[in-house]
Structure 1
Amino acid sequence: MHTRRKVLALGGAGLASSCAAARGFSEGLARDLGRAPPHRAVLPPVHVSEERIIRIDVGLRPYRPSGFRVERVPFGDKIVVHNYGHGGGGITLSWGTAKLAVDLGYDPAKPDCAVLGCGAVGLATARLLQERGAKVRIYARELSPNTTSNVAGAQWWPASVYDWRVATPEYLAQHFQAAQFAFRRYQSLVGDAYGVSWERNYNLSDEPITRYPARENDAMRALVVNQRDLEPREHNFPKRYVRQFDTMMIETPLYLRRVEADVRMAGAEIVVGGFENVAQIQALPERTIFNCTGLGAGALFGDAEITPVRGQLVILLPQPEIDYNTIAQEGYMFGRRDGIVLGGTYDRGEWSLEPDPQAIAGIISGHKSIFGAMRA
């Protein structure tokens, strides 16, 4: 197959004139139909190399096949409101499931509330409680930058949250309700202060794209912005099928620091320390407890369904010109300001936080195959 450069080098007058005629015809037809001819977006490639790696991040997603758990249950003379098990959608869904949990559990007559956990879900829950008038104390084993949320890729879109084969219609309705609220809340945080920005995404595939980011009959389709399937001449990716859509990106280190500061400024106390058993939780002075412990809920509250899903990220030196994201079979790339995030691993049942050299090499080689083949 000839590239455009090779065709020009051949100097075939007949071929060149026929190409010009075809181009003129298509552009004229587009004008006649009231449309501009397709514009080719020549995107800059990511420079993928081992020399540009600045760190490797490993995190454990708290995954439940049936989906996240938001539930109010009696807890001796107290109540506990569970809010955990978000899989790969913890940051995305945090404000939404926090809203569900607060609606279920907050009683203005009992304003003292405990929040267990200080990741994205715990912080969002604490902040919404404060907005209702609650007096909040957070108990956490780890604070930012040592939480699972800090090592999330943090594209706003819920991914790997549940298994569609076991999720109930009731759960799916709750999932959409949480996503819808979170979608609006994050829009209010767009800007440098919270590290939230709109970016363009490109889903790359060798096969027609029908499922990502959402099927046409999925309620989540209502939250997809500016989706369009591109023609091959409209992009310079080495894939036949490319779907673009816009969504938000969250620069997690900045975002988490800012939300924690908001919570503290609104009067919350943060107590650092973990719990070994539920008796220690029952001894807390607060009557209403919001459990946002993620994977810790398995041991503390006997949730046998929750399991870790390990994700590994390669962070490259920032490239200011990379203001887009890609999602492909080879992995995903998020063009954040604090670094280029390369990911795509999904190790279910793996508890180790040690990087897997083979997986890291796979992430690097997969992205080299994409960005090294981008057309000029």
Structure 2
Amino acid sequence: MTAATLLKEAGYTVSIYGEAFSCTTSDVAGGQWAPSIVAYDETSAVACHRFFEILKKSFDMHKFRLGSQFGISERTNFCKRRGPSLDKAANAGIIARTRLANLPFKYLNGPGYAYSTLLVEPPIFLEKLRHDLRQNQVPFVQRKFASEADVLTLPEAIIVNCTGLGSKVLFNDLNMKPIKGQLALLKAQPALDYLYSTGRTYVFPRADHVVVGGSQEDNVDDCIPDLTTCRDIIQLAVNAFMGSSMSTIRRKPWMLRNK
């Protein structure tokens, strides 16, 4: 949707092909703006310059769309420890990072950090993009592709690959690997206006839900939620906000590393 929007704004005639246009993984994603799990050659000055150039442009374009229509708002993300992905943006001067003597919570009140970032609420953001694209007469063509040859039967001269994990099969992209993450969606709490993420857990209050996450399963491509894992994810967040120094849940392979 984003690629189609940018191409349309640049004056191109656009068609969108896809198996599904709603109820996708992106529709329920957490939504914090951060360069999380982005691979690039950090030893190359050229690659680093390009990465941060893209990062700055991404932040500015999202900030330009601030407001309830797009579901984008400025939020503070509180962290017990410095977050590697947020630090990249802070070190480049894209977002602000503040060292705190005490986090503003009853039990989780030791030293920490505050990052000034954005919350992008996918259910609102994606619906707005879909609506605007349809208003601009962009056709949505439901189609499932089985191979690269199948893709190349399209009449368009330029094809932008937004298939994500599907690239592994369609284009024999062996570098494309699945990562499964599970979320617990709790009842919305309008009074919560901050984000929290440290180590194994994150909590993102949105208009529709409070999103609690904490899992990362490499090379797993099924979309089946596991209730036991989701209960453990919630317990990790409870432990964090109760100020527990060590989790009461034994370390498990699916638990997040520090992002």
For residues 360 and 260 of structure 1, what CA distance do their matches in structure 2 show?
30
For residues 163 and 354 of structure 1, what CA distance do their matches in structure 2 show?
30
Give, in angstroms, the shift of residue 235 of structure 1. Answer: 5.1
Task: Classify the secondary structure of the residue corresponding to 1:201.
Answer: strand
Where relative contact order (Cα < 8 A, 6+ residues apart) is larger, the structure is: 1
Partner in structure 1 of residue 77 of structure 2: 201
1:223 aligns with 2:100: no
Query: How has the CA–CA distance of structure 1 residues 132 and 164 changed in structure 2, closer, same or farther, with 3 Å as cutoff?
Result: closer
Q: Kindly tell me the number of residue pairs found equivalent between the two proteins.
A: 244
Among 175, 179, 196, which residue is 2:55 paired with? 179
Task: Classify the secondary structure of the residue corresponding to 2:151.
Answer: helix
Give, in angstroms, the shift of residue 193 of structure 1. Answer: 0.7
Query: How has the CA–CA distance of structure 1 residues 197 and 219 changed in structure 2, closer, same or farther, with 3 Å as cutoff?
Result: closer
Query: Which deviations, in whole Å up to 9, do the C-alpha atoms of 1:3-52 show, x marking residues without a partner?
Result: xxxxxxxxxxxxxxxxxxxxxxxxxxxxxxxxxxxxxxxxxxxxxxxxxx
Q: Give the AA of the match of 1:175.
A: F
Larger helix fraction of residues: 1
CA RMSD of aligned residues (A): 2.2
Give, in angstroms, the shift of residue 136 of structure 1. Answer: 0.7
Task: Classify the secondary structure of the residue corresponding to 1:289.
Answer: coil
Partner in structure 1 of residue 87 of structure 2: 214
Partner in structure 1 of residue 251 of structure 2: none
Q: Give the AA of the match of 1:133.
A: G
Task: Classify the secondary structure of the residue corresponding to 2:231.
Answer: helix
Give, in angstroms, the shift of residue 290 of structure 1. Answer: 0.7
Partner in structure 2 of residue 131 of structure 1: 9
Q: Give the AA of the match of 1:223.
A: I
Verify the 8 A CA contact 1:331 1:366 in the aligned structure 2: yes
Task: Classify the secondary structure of the residue corresponding to 2:163.
Answer: coil
Larger strand fraction of residues: 1
Q: TM-score, normalised by structure 2?
A: 0.86
1:297 aligns with 2:187: no
Q: Give the AA of the match of 2:5.
A: R
Give, in angstroms, the shift of residue 370 of structure 1. Answer: 2.3
Partner in structure 2 of residue 327 of structure 1: 197
For residues 296 and 220 of structure 1, what CA distance do their matches in structure 2 show?
34
Q: TM-score, normalised by structure 1?
A: 0.61
Aligned-pair identity (%): 29
**For structure 1, which segment, 191-200 or 230-239, has the greater mean C-alpha deviation from structure 2 after superposition?**
230-239
Query: Which deviations, in whole Å up to 9, do the C-alpha atoms of 1:75-123 show, x marking residues without a partner?
Result: xxxxxxxxxxxxxxxxxxxxxxxxxxxxxxxxxxxxxxxxxxxxxxxx1
Query: How has the CA–CA distance of structure 1 residues 233 and 156 changed in structure 2, closer, same or farther, with 3 Å as cutoff?
Result: closer
Among 27, 35, 59, which residue is 1:158 paired with? 35
Query: How has the CA–CA distance of structure 1 residues 228 and 305 changed in structure 2, closer, same or farther, with 3 Å as cutoff?
Result: same
Query: Which deviations, in whole Å up to 9, do the C-alpha atoms of 1:129-160 show, x marking residues without a partner?
Result: 1122211111011112x222112101011111
Which structure has the larger Rg? 1
